[in-house]
Each structure stands twice: as structure tokens, then as C-alpha cells.
Amino acid sequence: MKNNIIKAIIALSFIAIIITGYLVFIHYNPALKSPCEINNKISCKAVDESSYSKFFQAVGLEEITYIIGFDIPVALIGFLAYMALFILSILIYNKPDFEMQGAIRNYKIAIFALSFAGFIFSMYLSYIEAFVLGAWCLFCIAQTIIITVIFAIAIILLRSK
């Protein structure tokens, strides 16, 4: 069962890497038309062009942007987080040795912590989409579903031996 749990995290994080990678690409190439431009309520462009698509502004720390001279796209943070989840899952999958149990436990905790943080931040951003922007990004919704499932799986993984 544990291998199936790890395989699920590997597969889901790989899919999320593709989604968030695409969102990063769109963020840095705003002239490109996104396939999720359906209307003013379902619009990746409306979400991406908002101040909430940039991390420091999204969390209310826009002063940092002025101090350091740049902001980090939320999609890039998601991309990096999913890369970390993918790598940690691969490490667990490839290292079932008994002597590696301490490291594997740490990897499980890291997967849980990353997925928990991603879940909370995705819920916050979903709230922003629904009640502040009034617009939804289909790719963001897909990513939110994925991180929710990974978080649920991470709970099971953390409780497994």
C-alpha cells in the first residue's frame, strides 16, 4: 500500500509541475492567450494580472517588493514546491531500506509540511478568486484539487509505518 501512496504523490506532483510550469510561462509571457479565457468569470489572465499572483503582494507584504525590487510569482512558488514534493517522493520510493528509515521519516514529515502549507495557501488563493477577484483560473482550480489530494495522502503516509 505504501508504494501505491508514494506513486500517487509522484504522479500528482508531476501533473502539478506541468500545470504550474505552464502558469509560470504564461505569467512571464502575458501576450500569449491562455486556453482558459472563457469569460470574465473564468479567466486565468484576470487572476494572473492581479496583484495576488505575486507572492509578497498576495500575503500583504508588498513593502518587501519595493525593498528588493521584485516579487515572486505565486505559480513559481507552486512549481518549486511541487518539484520538492516530487523529489522527496522519489527518494522514499527508491529507498525502502531499513537503515534509511530515519531519513524516510524526515521525508514524510517534509511532504506533510509542504502539502499542508500548499493546501492552506491554495485555500487562501481560492478565497481571493471567489470573493475578491470574482474570477477563476481553471489551472489554479486544478492545482488546488491536486494539493488537496496530496495533503490527504500525506496524512495517510505520515501515519504509515
Q: pLDDT, tens digit, for every residue of 60-76?
A: 777 777 777 778 899 99
* Mean pLDDT across 16-39: 87
Phi, then psi, of 19 in degrees rounded to 5:
-65, -50
**2-159: CATH, from 1.10.10.10, 3.30.450.150, 1.20.1440.130, 3.90.198.10:** 1.20.1440.130
For the stretch 77-102, what's the b/e string if a residue is b when 16 or more beta carbons lie within 10 angstroms of its beta carbon? bbbebbbebbebbbbbbeeeeeeeee
CA distance 118 to 104: 21
Question: How sure is the predictor about 84, in pLDDT bands with cuts at 50, 70 and 90?
Answer: very high
Instruction: Domain ranges for the chain, please list them.
Output: 2-159
Q: Which residue type sits at 56?
A: F
Indicate the SS3 state at residue 42: strand
CA distance 100 to 7: 19
Beta bridge partners of 26: none
* Mean pLDDT across 11-31: 93
**C-alpha cell recorded at residue 109:** 514529515
What does each C-alpha distance from 90 to 36, 107, 154 come to in angstroms? 31, 10, 14
CA distance 57 to 116: 21
Give the model's pLDDT for residue 102. Answer: 77
**C-alpha cell recorded at residue 44:** 486565468
Give the model's pLDDT for residue 2. Answer: 67
Secondary structure letter of residue 54 according to DSSP: B
